[in-house]
Structure 1
Amino acid sequence: MDDSATHFTTVFMAFFAIMNPISNASLFLGLTDDLDSASRRAVAFRAVVLAFIIVALFTVLGRQIFEMFGITLPAFRIAGGILVGLVGYQLMHGQESSVQTPTAEDNSRSREAALGIAISPLALPILAGPGAIATAMNFAANSTLPEVTRVLAALALVCLITFVAFVTSDSLVRVLGQNAIKVVSRLMGLILAVIGVQMVIEGIRGAVAAS
């Protein structure tokens, strides 16, 4: 496998793990249980499109954001790796990540404005949370066109899979069952933890080389 394919596969797995469409399908079903199929599809579409736009902006503008705040790439990789690793650790232990879990206030608000849940909590912070943004900026850190293109392509593919998982969430949850979904979530957590550690290692290596 060449470097481009390896990069794409790694980015795809990272996005898939942190956006976790299988596990989040169960959450989506709970948030939209009072909606008809057309409204549910509209919520799913708005959520994934908005999530894609948010993460894509940070992917494309990552270098400018670094320069604006005086952030070095090694420092970001260390901080981002710790964040991604913590999300993975929580998922491995069957906990909901505090940065990706809707609050009771979110759920109450979603019942009052059904389509509003596409923005919060689905797009933010569940799909396009800090972990997804950190992952995107890390993998597109060099800002080369091929690199950014692969990150955006991987993100688009995961968003498409997430949309399909959301609109078929009732069937998905019924077929897999909650236990299988929990197993998938823990596997995604393991992948995230490994990716987080790798980001920290790369950050430390870069910091040492720059000193």
Structure 2
Amino acid sequence: MDNLITFAITVFTGFFAITNPISNMTVFVSLTQGAHKQTKDAINKKANIIAFIIVVVFILLGKYIFELFNISIPAFKITGGILIFFIGFEMLQSKQSNVKSLNDVHIEEDIAVSPLAIPILAGPGTIVTAMNFVSNAAPLQMFMVILIFGSMSLITYFTFKLSDHIVKFVGYNVISVIGKIMGLIIAIIGTGMIIQGIKISFDLISN
């Protein structure tokens, strides 16, 4: 039971750091600036639903994707760790990750798919993080990962819904500091994945 609680806390922390609803809230505000409330709500709902579906597909089919492309777990953990570390490092340097770079977009519901759902909410970092959690997971743990990401999608939805009020109340400076803290956590998660991948490669821990 204690192991499941520890696992759940780890998964929630990882998803919260990589999806970063507070930091992404400023992106949502900038993309939907000037839009009607109904349009914002529609974009918000559509983006989070699509992101949830994408991540769940990778959680459920990740094992078969590994087998199809002959991807080993150590190789995945090391490569994924490098990617996640790079995203976190960019956030610490106050840079917009290339994975999340945005061009000028018209305020249409299409932005719910791209760039909001992909790659902001369900980008490579999120997918790699999700697949890492279930790479050796039992069915119960896999269900917990899906459930926790679903809760993250709900948190993101309500954060975006209240984004205008939150930004006015908290201010961009505080949000920027939170973004840096999330970047540090992401970088640490990436480093941990690299170390774990190396240990598995050299049989230092059981696979």
| Band of TM-score, shorter chain | over 0.9
| Distance (whole Å) between structure 1 residues aligned to residue 173 and residue 143 of structure 2 | 36
Structure 1 partner of 2:202: 208
Percent identity at matched positions? 43
Q: CA RMSD in A?
A: 1.4
> Is 1:4 paired with 2:4?
yes
The SS at the match of 1:26 is helix
Q: Structure 1: which 4+ aligned runs deviate by more than 6 Å?
A: none
> Is 1:157 paired with 2:170?
no
Mapping for residues 1-211 of structure 1, pairs under 5 Å: 2-102=2-102, 104=103, 107-108=104-105, 110-111=106-107, 114-209=108-203
1:181-206: CA deviation from partner (whole Å, max 9, x where unpaired): 00000000011011001101110011
Q: Which amino acid aligns with 1:124?
A: I
- Paired residues of 1:25 and 1:165 also in contact (CA < 8 A): yes
Q: Which amino acid aligns with 2:90?
A: Q
How far did residue 36 of structure 1 move? Answer: 1.1
| Distance (whole Å) between structure 2 residues aligned to residue 79 and residue 164 of structure 1 | 33
1:80-131: CA deviation from partner (whole Å, max 9, x where unpaired): 01101111111111111100222x2xx23x33xx100100000001110000
| Distance (whole Å) between structure 1 residues aligned to residue 193 and residue 49 of structure 2 | 27
| Distance (whole Å) between structure 2 residues aligned to residue 181 and residue 198 of structure 1 | 26
The SS at the match of 1:180 is helix
| Distance (whole Å) between structure 1 residues aligned to residue 48 and residue 61 of structure 2 | 20
Q: How many residues align?
A: 205
Moved more, 144-153 or 124-133: 144-153
Q: Which amino acid aligns with 1:93?
A: Q
1:59-88: CA deviation from partner (whole Å, max 9, x where unpaired): 111110000000000100000011011111
| Gaps in structure 1 of 5+ consecutive residues | none
- Paired residues of 1:60 and 1:143 also in contact (CA < 8 A): no
How far did residue 2 of structure 1 move? Answer: 1.0
| Distance (whole Å) between structure 1 residues aligned to residue 90 and residue 143 of structure 2 | 30
| Gaps in structure 2 of 5+ consecutive residues | none
| Distance (whole Å) between structure 2 residues aligned to residue 57 and residue 144 of structure 1 | 17
How far did residue 35 of structure 1 move? Answer: 1.3
How far did residue 39 of structure 1 move? Answer: 1.3
| Distance (whole Å) between structure 1 residues aligned to residue 101 and residue 122 of structure 2 | 12
| Distance (whole Å) between structure 1 residues aligned to residue 50 and residue 123 of structure 2 | 12
How far did residue 34 of structure 1 move? Answer: 2.1
TM-score in terms of structure 1 length: 0.94
